[in-house]
Amino acid sequence: MNPPIPKQDPLGRYIPLGIKIAVYLLLVIYLIQAADVFYEYVPGQPWPFLLRAIRNGIFVFIHEGGHARFFFFGRTMTILGGSFWQIAFPLLSFIIALRKSSHFIAPFALFWVGTNMMDVSLYMRDAPVRRLPLLAGHKVGHDWWNLFREWNMLESAGTWADVFYFVGILIGIGAIGWGIYLSIERFLNPLPFTLQADDDEAHVPRPMFKKPNSTPSPPRPNHSPPERGKSDSADNTFDGLI
C-alpha cells in the first residue's frame, strides 16, 4: 500500500481566510467605537449600531446573569458579580480555546475580555455622578457607586476606570493583532489534507463465476468399450476438458 498523499485544498485556505478577515474588520470597527463610547458617558450621545447591538444584545444579559450567579455569596459579591462575570465569561472561553489550541476562538474570546473591561470602566467612571441609565431605573442601584462607597474608594473611581479602560484597549489591540498573525500563519502553512492511497485490489474486477483451476484434472476413466479402428490415444483426446 502506498503512503498517504498530502494535498492542499484551495477552498480550505481562502474561504476561512476571507471569513476571518471580515470578522477582524468588524472587531476593529467595534474597538474604535468602544474606545470612543466607553471612556465617559455623554448624555444624549447616540451609540453606534454595532456596539449597541452586541453590548445590549449579549453582554448586558451576561452582566445581569452574574448578579444572579453570585446571589448566594452575599451582598458585595452579588453587586460585584455582574461586572466580574462580564469579564470572566469571555476569559474562561479564552482559556478553554487556548487549551484546545484554537487559533481563531482564542484571540476572538480575548478581544471580548478587553472590550468588556472598557465597558466596566465606563460603569466605574460614572459612579460619582451616576448619569448612566440603568435597567432598574434607580440611581441607588448603581453597582460601582455602591461598591466604591462600601470600600471608601469613591474618589478613586476615575483612576480605576482609567486602569480598566487602557488595559482593555491594549488587550483588544493585542487580540486582533494576534488573531491576524495566526490567520496568516495558518494560511501560509495549512494543515495537510490527506487522501488514503487507493486499494489496488478494490479496483480489480472480480469474475462472476469461479475461476477454473489452471491445473488439469486427472482424466476420467472411460468405461465404454473402445471403438474399432482407433488407437488408445484417441480415446482420451478430450479427457480433462469436460
Closest CA to 79 of 123, 133, 129: 123
pLDDT at residue 110 in the model: 98
| H/E run at residue 194 | strand 193-195
Please report whether residue 220 resides in a domain. Answer: no
pLDDT at residue 124 in the model: 97
Please report whether residue 105 resides in a domain. Answer: yes
The model carries a pTM of 0.74
Report d(CA 186, CA 16) in Å as an integer.
10
Report d(CA 181, CA 189) in Å as an integer.
12
Res 240 pLDDT > 50: no
Please report whether residue 182 resides in a domain. Answer: yes
Structurally, how many domains does the chain consist of? 1
Decide which of 8 and 37 is more confident. 37
Please report whether residue 132 resides in a domain. Answer: yes
pLDDT at residue 237 in the model: 46
Give, as one character, the DSSP assignment of residue 203: G
Phi, psi of 198 (to 5 degrees): -70, 140
Please report whether residue 217 resides in a domain. Answer: no
Phi, psi of 131 (to 5 degrees): -100, -15
Domain of 177 in residue numbering reads as 26-192
Q: What is the mean pLDDT of residues 193-217?
A: 52
Report d(CA 62, CA 79) in Å as an integer.
14
pLDDT-derived band at 222, boundaries 50, 70, 90: low
Please report whether residue 162 resides in a domain. Answer: yes
Report d(CA 8, CA 13) in Å as an integer.
8
Q: What is the mean pLDDT of residues 100-106?
A: 91
Decide which of 90 and 230 is more confident. 90
Closest CA to 135 of 68, 77, 63: 63
Res 14 pLDDT > 50: yes
pLDDT at residue 104 in the model: 92
Cα–Cα distances (Å) from 174 to 23, 112, 146, 209, in that order, read: 15, 12, 33, 70
**pLDDT mean across residues, the chain:** 83
- A 10 A CB-CB count for 109 gives 21
Maximum average pLDDT range among 172-181, 184-193, 202-211: 172-181
Res 231 pLDDT > 60: no
Please report whether residue 160 resides in a domain. Answer: yes
Res 136 pLDDT > 70: yes
Please report whether residue 11 resides in a domain. Answer: no
Q: What is the pLDDT of residues 44-87, one digit of tens each?
A: 889 999 999 999 999 999 999 999 999 999 999 999 999 999 99
> Within the chain, where are the H helices?
11-37, 49-54, 60-69, 75-99, 105-125, 143-150, 157-188, 232-235
Res 103 pLDDT > 50: yes
Enter the C-alpha cell of residue 31: 474597538
Closest CA to 124 of 40, 36, 32, 37: 40
Report d(CA 119, CA 141) in Å as an integer.
17
Q: What is the pLDDT of residues 168-187, one digit of tens each?
A: 999 999 999 999 999 999 88
Lowest pLDDT segment from 129-133, 166-170, 224-228, 238-242: 238-242
pLDDT at residue 226 in the model: 55
Report d(CA 47, CA 34) in Å as an integer.
9
Enter the C-alpha cell of residue 93: 472561553
Res 15 pLDDT > 90: no
